[in-house]
Amino acid sequence: MPIKKGEMVRVVREKLENSVEAKASDPRFPSYIFETQGEVVDLKGDYAFVKFGKVPTPNIWLRQDQLESFK
């Protein structure tokens, strides 16, 4: 099912590690993106802009196939 704006998601570690995005930047991702829920704030093409947590953390663009619904 496609990701929708406002949906709560988390990052799938196996799909993010060794991806083009991981190789293009610092591969040391913070644990909160895998362990906590983030809210999809915007969608553009294959990417989703995700806001994590209630504490100040940077929002991040991720490919939608690297996300799964947070249950």
Residue 41: partners with Cβ closer than 8 Å, 6 or more residues away: 5, 49, 50, 51, 59
pLDDT of residue 21: 81
Q: Is residue 1 part of a domain?
A: no
Q: Is residue 34 part of a domain?
A: yes
- With CA atoms as reference, report the closest residue to 66 among 11, 27, 2, 29: 11
Structural domain span for residue 34:
8-69
**pTM of the entire predicted model:** 0.85
> What is the full per-residue pLDDT of the chain (71 aa) written as tens digits?
689 999 999 999 999 988 888 888 887 888 888 888 999 999 999 999 999 987 788 899 999 999 999 87
Q: Is residue 2 part of a domain?
A: no
Our count of domains for the chain comes to 1
Q: Is residue 47 part of a domain?
A: yes
